Structure 1
Amino acid sequence: MELKNNKTNLIHLEFGNSKADISLCNGGALTKLLLNGKEIINDFSKEEPYLKSYASAVLFPFVNRVFKGEYIYKKEKYTFDNSHGSEAIHGLLYNKKFTEIKRRTTADNVSVKLLYISKEKVIGFPYDYSVELIYTLYKDKITLDVYVKNEDDKSFPFTIGWHPYFYTENRKDSLLKFDSKSIIVHNEKMIPIAMKDLDGKQNFLIGNQNRDNCYELKNGKASLITSNYSIDVKSSNNNNFLQVYTSEIENYIAIEPVTGIANSFNNKIGLKELSSQETFNIKWTIQLQNG
């Protein structure tokens, strides 16, 4: 059992044959995960720069894209200052530096608590807030508890999600399973334009197709079955969406639990509101099947 910092701003967690690395300077992103000795997540930045992939970033205050970076909230127009063309993308946390505030080891797990406090009043989202991340590593799973507190004197809109890339030795033959109410139809800029009903259970090989699809889930779970491991990705949220993205880099697939869809600040699908001094909590779990 081990939890330590090193000179590269990584926190290392170890519990039995399970290991995890967390980047303090990249928004508390999970850069490495072994569960019971099986490699689930590795340092994707070796294949693609982090600021292009956003691998394992926590997405807040919005997930995916905001059309033209613009939205209206309580009759006032806001515009994000972004460098991604016409759309703002993946929120504001991905490059923020978190601070370690607590660590704990028990007979069952090892955990670390991280904190980021924003008082920047950034363009497009001029609110004070804090984000607390608690990673807990067990022998066969890792959980990420996120607490977002509105530290401001006024409410703000938000959605939240997680962007992990999973490593597999054979992506095209990997199987993805989940129950879905609908699939989101996007335009060429990946902005939603419609929702198409689905008949429930989705069970498909990743294959050689390029995928960048969002689904409305019937529950909070998706399963990935690969040649070297099988996992469940679960969310504690009552209403869930799932973004599935296959990178141009072989053997990686992003399976992203999110509370809303792209452009939710405008289409309102999955959009939440956090009142002054209120706290929102969500937990995501990556569970190794059959231990």
Structure 2
Amino acid sequence: MTAVVTQVAAGIRALDVDGVALVETFPETSTPPGAAGIVLVPWPNRVAGGRWTLAGAPQQLDITEPKQGNAIHGLLRSTGYRMLEQEPHRVLQGATVFPQHGYPFLLETTVEHRLSAEGMTVTHSIVNESDQAAPVAVGAHPYLALGDLPVGELTLTIDASTRFLTDEHQIPVSEEDVAGTDFDLTQGRRVAGLEIDHGFGGVSTNDGRSVQRLEAPDGRRVELWADENFGYVQVFTPQNFAAADGPRQAVAIEPMTAPANAFNSGQGLRWLRPGERWELAWGIRYVTP
């Protein structure tokens, strides 16, 4: 079992079990293509126009997705984390979210990556050091893989009952049941031909965990599990992921505690009281028949 965890954005750059790669990797000298592996705090996905309202006062976040005109993937995407603890099987890193444009709060955050025989567990903690309640959501952006198998040959299963419909800026405008639609992935769909960049809700849990997966024809699979804090998942199947061997299709399965634009909709958004600590976890594991 080996892994490479980055300092910038506390991302997962590599994860291998018995020589089988479980995530898409990228060179040490490059930025993560398509936000591969990074932590998304204090919000995942997008805030429409970077605008929201706090106690009646308009807030304007920096626009970090110029093409769509949104603020995307939080405030730590380009932040170098501090190493707090390190052992052969785990690393604990920390980063501060300082008050800034559109987000007048101070947060102390940590991310622990811990290896076990089956894969990796990622544990987040956030403490609100502000003197007022702070809106917070958490996400992550791993692209899953199964060794050198072409992702198109894999079957994608997403155990979620709803899908968010979006406008031309990829901001949710409604939520619909997936039953009977092309976006019902509960029974598994072959990845080849899928073109998805949608958030899903109604994520099912069993014994306090949700599980999404990619499965090979021989029954091997890579699973992304998450605790009950992660009620949403984004699925992204770009056709031109910048892999080391050239552009090709990839599959991101992104656990999220809130959907896109939660700062405006309030859906899934958590307000941390001053001094309050929030801890939550998700992970990636390898399962053989």
TM over 0.5: same fold? yes
Matches within 5 A, 1:227-242: 229-238=220-229, 240-242=231-233
2-side partners of 1:276 and 1:84: how far apart?
30
Amino acid at match of 1:257: P
**1:218 maps to what in 2?**
204
**2:80 maps to what in 1?**
97
CA contact (8 A) 1:182 1:195 kept: yes
Matches within 5 A, 1:37-76: 37-44=19-26, 49-50=31-32, 53-76=34-57
**2:71 maps to what in 1?**
88
CA contact (8 A) 2:145 2:222 kept: no
1-side partners of 2:138 and 2:27: how far apart?
23
CA contact (8 A) 1:71 1:265 kept: yes
**1:19 maps to what in 2?**
2
Amino acid at match of 1:218: S
1-side partners of 2:85 and 2:264: how far apart?
37
- How far residue 137 of structure 1 moved from its aligned partner, in angstroms, is 0.6
| Residues 41, 179 of structure 1: alpha-carbon distance in 2 compared, 3 angstrom cutoff | closer
Higher strand share: 1
Amino acid at match of 1:224: L
CA contact (8 A) 1:170 1:226 kept: no
Task: Flag the structure with more relative contact order, 1 or 2, with Cα contacts below 8 A and sequence separation at least 6.
Answer: 2
CA contact (8 A) 1:36 1:140 kept: no
1-side partners of 2:73 and 2:139: how far apart?
9
**1:33 maps to what in 2?**
15
**1:186 maps to what in 2?**
166
Q: TM-score, normalised on structure 1?
A: 0.85
- How far residue 49 of structure 1 moved from its aligned partner, in angstroms, is 4.4
Aligned length: 267
Gaps of 5+ in 2: 242-247
1-side partners of 2:187 and 2:121: how far apart?
25
- How far residue 65 of structure 1 moved from its aligned partner, in angstroms, is 0.6
CA contact (8 A) 1:101 1:114 kept: yes
CA displacement, residues 162-190 of structure 1 (integer Å, 9 cap, x when unaligned):
10012352122211113222111111211
Amino acid at match of 1:30: I
1:167 equivalenced with 2:145 (yes/no): yes
**1:269 maps to what in 2?**
267
Q: Equivalent pairs: percent with the same residue?
A: 22
2-side partners of 1:256 and 1:271: how far apart?
16
- How far residue 104 of structure 1 moved from its aligned partner, in angstroms, is 3.2
